[in-house]
Amino acid sequence: MRLRQRVREFAYAMGFGIDEEAERKVLDGEAGVPPGSLTSGKLMAVQIAKNKFTPDQDIEAVRRDYVYCVDQLARYADIIVVNVSSPNTPGLRALQD
Q: Which of 37, 40, 85, 86 is catalytic?
A: 86
Q: Which residues contact 61 (CB under 8 A, 6 or more apart)?
A: 54, 55
Q: Is the dihedral of CA 22, 7, 77, 56 positive or negative?
A: negative
Is 86 tagged catalytic? yes
Catalytic residue set: 86
